[in-house]
């Protein structure tokens, strides 16, 4: 067989191998979800009767109330801020464009710990109020922060950037012509926003709200610390308190139904309306000059979320950390950092490598099975960490016992657990949950490389894998680094899956922060919590830079 014929045969078989990789990855990634759904076939009648008659209604109602409160809050904060920073002119607009994303640096449970220390009875605010005349009589009483409304506020402060980010991207992409026509028809800026820009951005806004709601359903640290019983806390209670893995999976299936409903709502909204640009020419978006009370309102509306969601928690943590350096300036904190960096870095590298394989498999093989496999493999981000954890633990335990029994029968050796209770289980949950984050970045970068490069590599005798290493990887280096950083920070902040699956005597920054705060040792928790926040600023910078240049011609417009 001649050389060109061999190369052609290699390219013919290459897509099949990539397709098998995609399908195999999807099958493995779907194991936790399948395990949770299969648990419904196992009878647990007595336990379910007990839960239904005692705590299950409270779990469901609190979860629904949390979702409604967070949905309203993130919409009210995120959408107007996105509109003002995109299409209005006022002092500080350029600063607020990226500063509005800063609350994403902190996970919600860290913000909750900071505000608890600020607002509780022994905190500085109530202590100051008691020093005022009549303060001892309790004539000034702050609302209880450890409550369902308090949890909603904490989550809104951290999650509104999801809506802000997607809404701002949608506003940046809107047609100048449509906005100008609305002005010629007599619409003022507020009317243009309500009648034109908001309906066109509706799919993006709904997607942002859905993401925020998925994160609120995944939250465990905030609701547990505030004493709010939700489905996530119920999963932990059944798992740890009752020791019933199957019942925990069945309770997790209800939580999974909530998530699937949110995904269906987001898909439905996306399919209802859409628009496309009909011109290749891009002009700078019109900016409405705000003056007087309107400008003041815009400044206040953009300042409060940043102040409450980032500045106040950061100052509280910095104050505790600097006042108590003995709690984090020691070798144990270095071990904590090492554990967190090692497992986050390993998960980030693995997620990026798998995402690259999925994206390249979809590029080389366009069959239906590959497309479905990619969609299935990258759906883990929508699944709460607690669901993934309990869903992964049962099949892994079964596999552990099977392998141990086989080795004992064959070789007479008794081995311990290989998967369950080891870092392998933790890594598996991390990769399944955050593979979507890395895939979106990698797939977007790979899509910018023309397929003519593939044809050129093929004509030079490069097989698909060789073409990826020699041609695509050098061109995607920056995007791969961005994907790795995003996954790294997400893993660093992940709490529910880590709490369930971590080995004994293995702590990360997130679990240590949670353990100390649960014992009301907030000053001691400040060191690891502050470290999480400082590292979390990295993706904020990357996102702010990406969204600023998301509109074609934006760079030229800024330089004009």
What is the distance, to the nearest Å, from the Cα of residue 298 to the centroid of all Cα atoms in its chain?
28
275 three-state secondary structure: coil
* pTM of the predicted model as reported, rounded to 2 decimal places: 0.84
- Report the C-alpha gap between 424 and 191 in whole angstroms: 55
Q: What is the mean pLDDT of residues 388-410?
A: 82
Is the pLDDT at 555 greater than 70? The verdict is no
| 510 within 8 A of 110, measured Cβ to Cβ | no
Residues 359-378 pLDDT 10s? 888 877 777 888 888 888 88
44 three-state secondary structure: coil
Delineate the domains of the chain, giving CATH numbers in brackets: 14-43+324-389+421-518 (1.10.3720.10), 58-276+286-319 (1.10.3720.10)
558: tokens are 């800024």
HSE-CB of 246 using CA atoms within 13 angstroms: 12
Q: Pick the most confident of 20-24, 185-189, 353-357.
A: 353-357
Is the pLDDT at 46 greater than 80? The verdict is no
Pairing of strands 288-289, 88-89: parallel
Q: What is the mean pLDDT of residues 258-272?
A: 74
Choice among 3-12, 328-337, 400-409 with the minimum mean pLDDT: 3-12
Is the pLDDT at 177 greater than 80? The verdict is no
Q: What are phi and psi of 289, to 5 degrees?
A: -75, 125
Confidence of residue 3 (pLDDT cuts 50, 70, 90): very low
320-340 residues labelled b (16+ CB within 10 A) or e (exposed): bbeeeeebbeeeebeebbebb
Tracing tokens 């280096």 back to the chain, one arrives at: 477
Residues 124-167 pLDDT 10s? 887 777 777 665 555 566 778 889 999 999 999 999 999 998 88
Residues 508-554 pLDDT 10s? 999 999 999 988 888 899 999 999 988 888 888 777 777 666 555 44
Model pLDDT, residue 45: 61
Model pLDDT, residue 370: 83
């Amino acid at each position: 067989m001649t050389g060109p014929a061999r190369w052609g045969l290699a390219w013919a078989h290459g897509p099949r191998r990539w397709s098998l990789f995609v399908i195999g990855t999807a099958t493995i990634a779907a194991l936790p979800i399948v395990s949770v759904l299969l648990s419904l076939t196992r009878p647990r009648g007595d336990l379910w009767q007990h839960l239904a008659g005692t705590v299950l209604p409270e779990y469901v109602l609190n979860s629904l109330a949390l979702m409604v409160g967070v949905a309203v809050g993130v919409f009210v904060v995120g959408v107007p801020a996105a509109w003002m920073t995109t299409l209005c002119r006022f002092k500080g607009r350029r600063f607020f464009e990226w500063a509005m994303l800063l609350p994403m640096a902190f996970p919600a449970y860290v913000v909750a710990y900071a505000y608890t220390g600020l607002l509780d009875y022994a905190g500085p605010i109530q202590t100051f109020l008691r020093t005022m005349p009549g303060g001892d009589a309790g004539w000034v009483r702050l609302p209880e922060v450890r409550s369902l409304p308090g949890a909603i506020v904490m989550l809104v402060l951290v999650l509104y950037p999801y809506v802000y980010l997607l809404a701002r991207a949608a506003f940046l992409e809107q047609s100048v012509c449509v906005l100008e026509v609305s002005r010629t028809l007599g619409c003022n800026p507020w009317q243009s926003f309500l009648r034109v820009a908001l309906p066109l951005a509706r799919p993006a806004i709904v997607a942002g709200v859905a993401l925020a709601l998925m994160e609120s359903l995944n939250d465990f640290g905030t609701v547990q610390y505030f004493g709010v019983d939700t489905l996530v806390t119920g999963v932990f209670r059944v798992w740890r308190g009752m020791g019933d893995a199957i019942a925990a999976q069945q309770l997790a299936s209800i939580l999974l139904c909530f998530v699937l409903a949110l995904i269906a709502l987001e898909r439905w909204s996306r399919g209802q309306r859409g628009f496309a640009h009909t011109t290749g020419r891009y002009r700078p978006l019109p900016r409405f000059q705000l003056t007087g009370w309107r400008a003041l309102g815009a400044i206040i509306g953009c300042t409060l979320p940043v102040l409450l969601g980032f500045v106040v928690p950061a100052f509280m943590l910095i104050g505790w950390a600097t006042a108590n350096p003995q709690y984090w300036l020691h070798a144990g904190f270095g071990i904590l950092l090492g554990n967190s960096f090692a497992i986050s870095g390993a998960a980030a590298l693995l997620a990026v490598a798998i995402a690259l394989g999925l994206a390249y498999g979809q590029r080389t093989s366009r069959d239906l099975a590959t497309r479905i496999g990619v969609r299935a493999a990258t759906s883990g981000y929508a699944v709460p960490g607690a669901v993934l954890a309990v869903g992964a633990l049962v099949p892994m335990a079964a596999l552990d016992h099977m392998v141990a029994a086989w080795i004992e029968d064959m070789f007479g050796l008794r081995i311990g657990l290989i998967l369950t209770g080891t870092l392998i289980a933790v890594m598996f949950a991390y990769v399944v949950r955050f593979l979507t984050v890395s895939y979106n970045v990698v797939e977007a970068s790979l899509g910018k490389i023309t397929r003519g490069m593939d044809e050129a590599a093929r004509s030079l005798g490069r097989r698909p894998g060789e073409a990826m290493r020699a041609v695509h990887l050098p061109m995607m280096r920056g995007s791969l680094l961005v994907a790795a950083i995003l996954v790294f920070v997400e893993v660093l902040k992940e709490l529910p899956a880590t709490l369930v699956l971590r080995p004994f005597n293995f702590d990360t920054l997130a679990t240590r922060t949670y353990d100390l705060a649960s014992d009301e040792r907030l000053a001691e928790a400040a060191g690891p919590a502050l470290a999480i926040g400082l590292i979390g600023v990295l993706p904020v910078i990357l996102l702010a830079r990406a969204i600023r240049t998301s509109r074609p011609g934006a760079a030229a417009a800024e330089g004009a």
